[in-house]
Amino acid sequence: MILTIARNELRRMFLSPLAWTILAVVMLILAFMFLNNVQYFITIQSRLLSMGSDDGVTAVIAAPLLGNAAVVLLLVVPLLSMRLVADERRNKTLSLLVSAPVSMTEIILGKYLSLVAFLWLILALVAMMPLSLLAGGTLDFGLLGAGLFGLALLLAGFAAVGLFMSTLTQNQTVAAVSSFGVLLLFWILDWAGQGSGTSGILGYLSILNHYEPFLRGIFDTSDAAYLVLFILTFLMLSIRRLDMDRLGG
Amino acid sequence: MSDEVLVEVEDLSRAYGGMLAVRHISFSIRRGQVLGFLGPNGAGKTTTMQILSGNLAPTTGRVRIAGHDLLEDPRHAKQAIGYLPEQPPVYRELTVDEFLDYCASLNRIERGKRRAAREAAKIKCGLGDTGKRLIGNLSKGYQQRVGLAQAIIHLPPVIILDEPTVGLDPIQIREIRHLIRELGKEHGVILSTHILPEVQATCDQVQIISKGDLVLNDSIEGLSRHMQSSTLAIALRDPPDLARIREIAGVKSVQDQGDGRLHVFYDPATDPTDALVELSVQNRWGLYELQPQRASLEDIFVHITTEEQESPKGTAA
């Protein structure tokens, strides 16, 4: 049942020009960044060798690309997630799902899955860029894999926040703006207490601090656990919020 | 089979903030029954429909659908209902076939039977050749039919329709009413409306709701009995003194409507029509119009819903 809902959501997403536009724009920008990184690597290649640095092509090209992709997608996810529930509420189509024999959990998970599937499609396309370098050399697959895994989890986290914000309102723009705000806040949370050396609990909550290790090739279970908990929390809140529609006015 | 109780509502209330939109209503629906839910705007019709379809949780009370409690066993209860809200819940960007297939799978129709279910629902709702068209490009009437097809695709025992004929043209209204009567033969149908002739045309049981209270629950025949009144509307070219008419046996009172038009209220036991016509001929009053007045459903409706606040008063004013 979850898959049925997810498939329908995905189909409707691709029937709107929004999905295609976002795919095109994101790909264009990331490809431009990727080419810049390649250019940069070529110019500093000899210097890296002479300095005896062990940074290879993956560290110089792929890791910054994935870092930038995270920022670009932080801007894009709210645009994709805003319609999930808010739009159905406005068009009064939500009752189709609610009066069907499916639970709130299934509705939320179906919608969530459709968004994650779309984001992971973008991720797969992004992954192809560094993989294309295989034509002329070799890559550090451990580093690339960790980075891609980190980004996959991060996007799933973004999607959970976006979905929750969409359940709060019936106005798509409000949903987009608020999810962008929340995501950005989580991103910059570690700015607090910067310079004092200890960023404390805010630094720990910052989603960026749990993404960066992946880009350096470090797979830390605590970082992965943080992201998984982050996702579960917002999914839980979404289900509760949707259920509130029935109970509240 | 026809006595099977499909919907049981007990002591249902729903509060919005401090305001009770629906107050302690109870009723039941059997298979083969079309129940008309009648009330002015804001009476609590839609709230009741939303509670029955699981879109709103009741503040107090219990709803059982086909033997399943809506709150304790929502999955089985919801499987037994088809719901068409005021605004048909359709995805405008899908084609009719895509949308109905999705609804079929949402309602857990087995994969192999979905196509047959979709085609059957389309035929019932007169959507025969629209399968490949985008719902967004269909007219309001056809979108309404798609909404109806969505509600009946899994052949639920209970069908809940919230103002199903709003925004349709007269021909479409007739077709939808016909369809509802057809559905009422095998299913239990609840229909909300504020259009009174619609109830007369389609329902066999009527409930009138006003300000959240159930004020009448009767069969259509019972309602017709309510409607028999004892009034004659007559028009005379040369009307006499009203006292002359009041003297006729059986006449209780006469009301002058101006222009020689009179309303004559009489005792149902003695019909004064013959005497009135005879007198008119004898005295050359020039009777040119005579019409027995039947209280319309409107009258009853207004009567019952206003009776709530005012003390009951006689109809023969």
Section B302-309 average pLDDT: 62
Q: Domain of B190: which CATH number?
A: 3.40.50.300
Task: Decide if B256 contacts B266 (C-beta within 8 A).
Answer: no
B73 shares a domain with B183: yes
Report which residue type is found at B115: R
Reduced to 3 states, what is the DSSP secondary structure of residue B161?
strand
**pLDDT at site B218:** 81
B248 touches chain A (CB under 8 A): no
Number of domains in chain A: 1
Give B170-213 as a DSSP string: HHHHHHHHHHHHHHHHHSEEEEEES-HHHHHHH-SEEEEEETTE
**pLDDT at site A199:** 59
B75 shares a domain with B19: yes
Section B58-69 average pLDDT: 90
B260 token code pair: 């020689």
Q: State how far the alpha carbon of B33 is from the alpha carbons of A94, B5, B29, B157, B300, in Å.
A: 28, 10, 7, 11, 22
Is the pLDDT confidence value at A175 over 90?
Answer: yes
Distance between CA B222 and CA B86 in Å, rounded?
Answer: 28
User: Which domain-ending residue is among B226, B257, B283?
Assistant: B226
Comparing A26 with B128, the larger pLDDT belongs to: A26
B168 is a domain residue: yes
Which pLDDT band, with edges at 50, 70 and 90, does B19 fall under? Answer: confident
Give B44-90 as a DSSP string: SHHHHHHHHTTSS--SEEEEEETTEETTTSHHHHHHTEEEE-SS---
Comparing B168 with B2, the larger pLDDT belongs to: B168
Section B194-206 average pLDDT: 83
**Best B46, B86, B90, B91 residue to mutate vs chain A (most A CBs within 10 Å):** B91
Distance between CA A167 and CA B101 in Å, rounded?
Answer: 26
Chain A residues 62-101 with CB within 8 Å of chain B: 91-101
**pLDDT at site B266:** 79
What is the distance in angstroms between the Cα of B301 and the nearest Cα belonging to chain A?
A: 29
Q: Which residues contact B48 (CB under 8 A, 6 or more apart)?
A: B12, B14, B22, B25, B37, B192, B209
Report which residue type is found at B170: P
The residue range of the domain holding A120 is 2-247
**pLDDT at site B124:** 86
B283 shares a domain with B160: no
B242 is a domain residue: yes
DSSP H or E segment with residue A198: none
Minimum-distance CB partner of A101 among B93, B98, B107: B107
B171 shares a domain with B142: no
What is the distance in angstroms between the Cα of A105 and the nearest Cα belonging to chain B?
A: 12
B193 shares a domain with B53: yes
Section B107-116 average pLDDT: 91
Task: Give the model confidence (pLDDT) of A3-22 as tens digits.
Answer: 999 999 999 999 989 999 99
Do A100 and B107 lie within an 8 Å CB cutoff? yes
Is the pLDDT confidence value at B260 over 60?
Answer: yes
Planar angle of CA B178, B181, B184, nearest 5 degrees: 150
Which pLDDT band, with edges at 50, 70 and 90, does B298 fall under? Answer: low
**pLDDT at site B312:** 42
Task: Give the model confidence (pLDDT) of A85-100 as tens digits.
Answer: 999 998 889 999 999 9
Reduced to 3 states, what is the DSSP secondary structure of residue B216?
strand
Task: Decide if A111 contacts A163 (C-beta within 8 A).
Answer: yes
Reduced to 3 states, what is the DSSP secondary structure of residue A20?
helix
Percent of chain A with pLDDT over 70: 94
Minimum-distance CB partner of B93 among A15, A95, A98: A15
ipTM: 0.86
User: Which domain-ending residue is among B226, B255, B281?
Assistant: B226
B260 is a domain residue: yes
**Burial of B250 from C-beta contacts in 10 A (0-12 / 13-18 / 19+):** middle
Distance between CA B168 and CA B195 in Å, rounded?
Answer: 13
Minimum-distance CB partner of A101 among B78, B93, B150: B78
The residue range of the domain holding B279 is 230-293
User: Which domain-ending residue is among B167, B195, B226?
Assistant: B226
Number of domains in chain B: 3
Do A93 and B93 lie within an 8 Å CB cutoff? no
Reduced to 3 states, what is the DSSP secondary structure of residue B30?
strand
Looking at chain B, which residue has its C-alpha nearest residue A103? B75
B279 is a domain residue: yes
B221 shares a domain with B181: yes
Planar angle of CA B87, B88, B92, nearest 5 degrees: 115
Report which residue type is found at A80: L
Section A14-34 average pLDDT: 93
pTM for this predicted structure: 0.84
Is the pLDDT confidence value at B311 over 50?
Answer: no
